Amino acid sequence: MRPMKFNFQDFLLKVKKGLGDLKLKLNFGGKETTTHIAMEKRRAIAGYVFISPFLLGLIFFFLYPFLQSVIFSFNSIQIGTQGYEMTGVGFGNYHRAFMVHPTFRRVLVESIIQMITDVPLIIIFSFFAANLINQKFRGRAVARAIFFLPVILTSGIILAVENNDLLLGIMSGAIQPDTAAGAVRALELRTLLLETRLHPRFVGYIIDAVDRLYEIVKASGVQILIFLAGLQTISPSLYEASTMEGATGWENFWKITFPMISPLILVNTVYTVIYSFTNPNNPVMEIIKNTAFAESRFGFSSAIAWVYFLVILGILGILIGVISRWVFYHD
C-alpha cells in the first residue's frame, strides 16, 4: 500500500471543482453547456412518468402489505366489522408453525424435495423440446402451436381439476402406469437399466421421470418458449463457420448451442423454482390459505407464509450461486 499524503492544495482544488460541477448541475437556466444536463433531467422525469403506475402499486399494493405481513406474523388478529385488532404474541406464531402444526414441517420438506426432483427434468426436457421444434420440418408451425398449448391448458383451476381427476387417471393408463400394462412396461425398463449397472437410485430417478412424463411436459410450456427464443438469437454464422472447419452436429451442439444458451438455463431454473413454489396448487400454499380463511388465523398464516418465503429465497440463492458459476456470457 502506498502511503497517502494529504495535500491541502489538491483538496481545495477538488472542492472548488466539485462546487463548480454542482453549480452547473443546478443552473439549468439554458446556457449552451447546460442544455445537455437539462435534457437528461427531462428524460429522467419522463422515465418516472412512465413507471409511475408501478411506483404507486409498488408502494401501496406491494411494499406496504409486505411490511404489514411481517408485523402480522408476530401478532394475533381479530377481525371486526370496523377494522381489525392486533395483539402481540412475539415468536409464538413461528414456534407454533414448527412445533405445533401437525403437517407444516412435513409438507414443506416434501414440496422442496419434489421441486428438487422436478427442476432438472423440466429443464432437460424443455431444452430438448425447444431444440426439436427449432429444426426445420414440415408441420413445424402446428407442432409449435401444440407444444405451447400447456401454457394455456394447464394453469390454475384446470390443472387442479385434472390432478384430482379419477377418470382421466384411469384412462391415461397408457401414459401413467396406473394399469397393469403400464407397470409391466416400466418394470422392463427398470430391469434393462439395472442390467447396465447404473446406480439403483439413479435408475429409480429415471423410472420416476418416465412415469411422470406427462406432468413434466405440462410444467414445461413457458420454459420451452424461453429456450426457443434463445435458440433463435444464436447467429447462424457461428454454425456455418464451425461446420466449415469440420465440426460435426454433435460438436456444434456442445461447443456453440450449449454455452450460448447457458444464461437461459439459469433464467429457466429460477422461473421453474418460482413457479413450482408459488403455484396455488402447491400444498404449502394450501396450508397458508386454509389457515387464514378457513380457520381465520391471519397472524399464524402470515408467519407460515414468511417462513416459506425465506425458504424459497434461500433455495434460489443457492441455485443462482451454483449455476452462475458455469454460465457463459457472450457479451
274 binds another protein, rule: CB under 8 A? yes
**Spatial contact of 74 and 90, defined as CB atoms under 8 Å apart:** yes
Q: Kindly tell me which of 124 and 194 has the beta carbon lying closer to another protein.
A: 124
Contacts of another protein in 37-96 (CB under 8 A): 40, 42-51, 53-58, 60-66, 68-69, 72, 77, 79, 82-84
Choose the binding region for another protein from 17-25, 195-203, 235-243, 306-314 (rule: CB under 8 A): 306-314
Contacts of another protein in 161-220 (CB under 8 A): 161-162, 165-168, 171-172, 175, 213-214, 217-218
143 binds another protein, rule: CB under 8 A? yes
Least Cβ distance, residue 211 to another protein (angstroms): 13
**Spatial contact of 127 and 261, defined as CB atoms under 8 Å apart:** yes
> Phi/psi at 76 (nearest 5 deg)?
-110, 135
Least Cβ distance, residue 50 to another protein (angstroms): 3
Distance CA 221, CA 151 (A): 5
Contacts of another protein in 89-128 (CB under 8 A): none
145 binds another protein, rule: CB under 8 A? yes
Least Cβ distance, residue 313 to another protein (angstroms): 7
152 binds another protein, rule: CB under 8 A? yes
Distance CA 316, CA 112 (A): 12
Q: Kindly tell me which of 58 and 100 has the beta carbon lying closer to another protein.
A: 58
- How many other CB atoms are there within 10 angstroms of residue 128's CB atom? 12
Give the residue, chosen from 121, 123, 219, 292, that forms a contact with another protein under the rule CB under 8 A: 292
Q: Kindly tell me which of 34 and 262 has the beta carbon lying closer to another protein.
A: 262
Q: Which residues of 131-141 are buried (b: 16+ CB within 10 A; e: fewer)?
A: bebbeeeeeee
Least Cβ distance, residue 213 to another protein (angstroms): 7
Contacts of another protein in 240-269 (CB under 8 A): 263-264, 266-267
Distance CA 314, CA 320 (A): 10
